[in-house]
Amino acid sequence: MKKEFFLFKENNNKMIIVNENSNNHLLQRCQDHWAHTKDNNYLTNKNIFSKKTLLNIIDPPKYLFIHIPKTGGTSFKFNIIYNPKLKKKIALYHKITYPPSNSRLLNIFKEKRNMFTLVRDPTETVISAYFHFKHFAKMKNFAFFELLSNMQTKFLLGYDIFSDYKITTRDFDNLLKLIQDKKLIIGIQKSKSMNDIYNLLELPNDDVDNYILNKKKGIGYQEKDVSKSLREYIKKRNMYDYRLFEYVLNS
């Protein structure tokens, strides 16, 4: 088991070292998160006779976290789902494949659980996905950005972020109806909308941590690395994601 971890706090570049001699109170939580020990993965049957699977059949999670890639979900899991003060049992959906599956893997319109997710500024999400996934996608950036159009809305509708599924107006209207009926709660990091998720999970704000995981100092990209014209191209390709993001931000 890994014995040393590095965390950061929001808006703070000072590294927090976690090991047996420093910040020991966080070590078990870091190890559990690293090994995914508390992840109740949705739509996986790696071992149907495992203790975790059997417990989930007997007492299924009443909550479902739809973890859209590159929206801050990894840090959210550490701060909320792995928070020792959280008492709710949560299933996790985070299915990504490449080459992609073009079939629907999750139907949120038939789900009976309390669903919640995070969204992020669409342009920043797509750019972040490019720098994260480009090592195996092996395509030029314009082709990649075209493939990843409306990845957040697409993922919520149950399709792979790399699939070529074309979202319809009806799809989007049905998604908005789900949000309006509070059957799907959506948060945006560092906005008031996160309180809707905390309230859903009955986790007081004072108990919410703000650690940042996988912060890559000196690695990744800067704003100047992506031209203005490319950002405009991405924005045009992500109409539904922008409509969703702005709806949540202004609600």
The mean pLDDT value for 225-250 works out to 93
Radius of gyration of the CA atoms of the chain, in A = 18
Residue 40 has a pLDDT of 87
Residue 247 has a pLDDT of 97
Which among 150, 159, 100 has a CA at the least distance from the CA of 125? 150
The mean pLDDT value for 143-170 works out to 91
Instruction: Give tens-digit pLDDT for 186-216.
Output: 999 999 999 999 999 999 999 999 999 876 5
- The whole-model pTM stands at 0.90
Residue 218 has a pLDDT of 45
The mean pLDDT value for 41-70 works out to 73
Q: Which residues contact 25 (CB under 8 A, 6 or more apart)?
A: none
How open is the CA angle 111-117-123, to the nearest 5 degrees?
Answer: 130
Residue 165 has a pLDDT of 93
Residue 53 has a pLDDT of 59
Residue 141 has a pLDDT of 66
The mean pLDDT value for 62-75 works out to 96
CB 68 within 8 A of CB 187: no
Statement: residue 182 has pLDDT above 90 = yes
> For the ranges 40-44, 111-115, 199-203, which has the lowest average pLDDT?
40-44
Residue 139 has a pLDDT of 67
Q: What residue has token string 């909550």?
A: 63
